[in-house]
Amino acid sequence: MCSSDLADNGNGRIVKLNPANGKCVTKPFKLPGGAPIGVTVSTTPSGERVYVANGTKSEVDVFSTSGSQVQTITSNGKCTLNRMRDAAADATGNVYVANYVSDNILEFNASGHCIGAFRSKGSGNGQFMNPYGVAVGTDPYLNGGNPGEAIYVADSNNDRIQEFTPGGVWVATIGGPGDDTEPGTFSQLRRVAVDAEGDVWGADLWGYRVEKFARGPGEIGRASCRERV
């Protein structure tokens, strides 16, 4: 059975839990200083890796699922990490970082070298106002009706989720600003996740809810959602 990895910010560690009983599976992963803001488990060519956004130190700490630190990604080239909030990797091992203060998504290769950045500050398609969460998932209809890997960003202060190709091309906007009574909207978006069916989930902090956007051909971005309290 899969276990869950949680960012324990105050104690500066990652805790791996058994989802069936909530008990620790292994000794917590202690960060080398700083504090974890976001954590994602991604499957890469090197196996499963745990990506931790260490916002205090402005670095991404990478662990094996047994807790051994295998890599540290720091600012280099044109990529300057600036109090990031989240990080995730795609199937090739490229790493995408929600660069909160700089209003962009940074992309690094599997070795931690800068590839580039997605877009800039603003509210237009492909622009960001403090991206908080990033996830990699399968869009069932991305390539002319065929599945493809996509990057999903919780664009927090625009209160929307944005979808991109792995190369940084904008695909769609999902949801938008609103209050906690209106389905398909967010009042303080924080995180995004994608399930095995390609449905998209957004964590709305001040709305006190999680919203699921159901998928169908041509349906991405529509307010087809169900609330979860």
pLDDT in tens, 138-177: 999 988 888 999 999 999 999 999 999 999 999 999 999 9
pTM of full prediction above 0.95: no
Quick one: residue 126, left, alpha or beta (phi over 0 = left, psi -120 to 50 = alpha)? left
pLDDT in tens, 124-134: 999 999 999 99
- Contacts of range 137-143, beta carbons closer than 8 Å, 24 or more positions apart: 137/193, 137/194, 137/195, 137/198, 137/200, 138/194, 138/196, 138/198, 139/163, 139/171, 139/198, 139/215, 139/220, 140/197, 140/198, 140/215, 141/198, 141/215, 141/217, 141/218, 141/220, 142/171
C-alpha distance from residue 148 to each of 43, 109, 198 (Å): 15, 19, 10
pLDDT at 111: 98
pLDDT in tens, 179-206: 888 889 999 999 999 999 999 999 999 9
| Order of all β-strands in the sheet with 86-89 | 86-89, 95-99, 104-108, 114-118
pLDDT at 182: 87
- The answer to whether 75 and 81 are in contact (CB under 8 A) is yes
Q: Does position 1 have pLDDT exceeding 50, yes or no?
A: no
pLDDT at 9: 62
In terms of residues, how long is the chain? 229
